[in-house]
Amino acid sequence: MLVKEFAAIYYSSVAYVVAAVFMLLMSYTFCAQLFHMRSASLAGTLIQAATLLLLTVPFLTMRQFSEERRSGTLELLLSSRADGLAIVMAKFLATFSMLTFLVVMVLAFPLTLSFISAPDWGPIVSGLVGLLLLGGALSAIGLAVSVFTSNQLVAAVLSLGIFLLLWMSEALGVFFGDPFDDIAVAISLDTRFTPFVTGAVYLSDFGFFLSLTLLGILLSVAGLARR
């Protein structure tokens, strides 16, 4: 199961196009920050990586279950001995491995920087950990969305909408009264991610991203079971 899902990701041209565009935009951000703004801090680059993850993960998760549903192969999987959790975990790990690959490529920027200066590795490492946690949560939510539709485009657009809403929920919180404004801040991906790039790692932020990942996986399993 795992081998099939890894093959589906890595034999797909979508993954490589996503990786290429991601690195192109990241390189542009890095160069702009370094040469135009004359800043050796990587905080902006890492936040840019996070926003690019919001935009790229839907393209990786949109076909995971949607395509299986559309082609009918989900019937083959679900009528076998494999249980829902194994099917979901295989797809999650395959997507997450691709995101890990993207995050490892981001490492090229601090390494480049280390040739010309002495970057502070603490915030860089915690920022990369934050990117992995964010990527895991986005993958799980994207998978859950793709369970509920057989249309890849609908899955991608819905995922993107949810990601952006979660990212911006802190800003939207001002429109709500107490206690919804606090909730909007607490569930904001932006609020939870930003401390990682400054080197401030809170257990609550760790727990938030892991809980979101678990929620996405459980929703996916429940979505498969309730068919």
Partner 1 sequence: MMSGSKNVARAQETAKPLSPPIIVAKNLTKRFGSRLAVDDVSFSLDAGEVMGLLGPNGSGKSTILRMLVGTLRANEGEISIAGHDIVTSGRFARTNIGYVPENTPLYDSMRVTEFLQFMAGLKGLRKQQVDEALERVCDQLELNDVRRQPIHTLSHGFRQRVAIAQALLSSPPLIILDEPTNGLDPRQIIECRNLILSLAGKHSILVTSHILTEIEKIADRAGILLHGRLLAVEDLRNNPDAGDLESRFLALTAPH
Residues at the interface with partner 1 (CB under 8 A): 1, 3-4, 8, 11, 71-83, 225-227
Least separation in angstroms between CB 185 and partner 1: 38
Pairwise CA distance, residues 192 & 62, whole Å: 25
Contacts of 145 (CB under 8 A, 6+ apart): 61, 155, 158, 159, 162
Least separation in angstroms between CB 127 and partner 1: 36
Least separation in angstroms between CB 59 and partner 1: 18
Least separation in angstroms between CB 5 and partner 1: 11
Both tokens assigned to 41: 């801090």
Q: CB-wise, 87 or 140, nearer to partner 1?
A: 87
Least separation in angstroms between CB 76 and partner 1: 6
Least separation in angstroms between CB 79 and partner 1: 4
- Residue 117 vs residues 25, 39, 120, 135, 162: alpha-carbon distances, Å: 23, 11, 10, 29, 39
- Residue 102 vs residues 67, 189, 210: alpha-carbon distances, Å: 24, 19, 19
- Residue 15 vs residues 12, 107, 122: alpha-carbon distances, Å: 6, 19, 30
Q: CB-wise, 77 or 129, nearer to partner 1?
A: 77
Q: CB-wise, 82 or 171, nearer to partner 1?
A: 82
Q: CB-wise, 83 or 120, nearer to partner 1?
A: 83
Q: CB-wise, 36 or 81, nearer to partner 1?
A: 81
Q: CB-wise, 108 or 227, nearer to partner 1?
A: 227
Least separation in angstroms between CB 78 and partner 1: 4
Pairwise CA distance, residues 126 & 111, whole Å: 15
The DSSP result for 184-203, as a single string, is HHHT-HHHHHHHHHTT---H
Angle, CA of 216, 220 and 223, to the nearest 5°: 135
Q: CB-wise, 38 or 226, nearer to partner 1?
A: 226
C-beta pairs of 107-115 under 8 Å, 24+ apart in sequence: 109/26, 109/30, 109/42, 109/45, 110/42, 112/30, 113/34, 113/40, 113/42
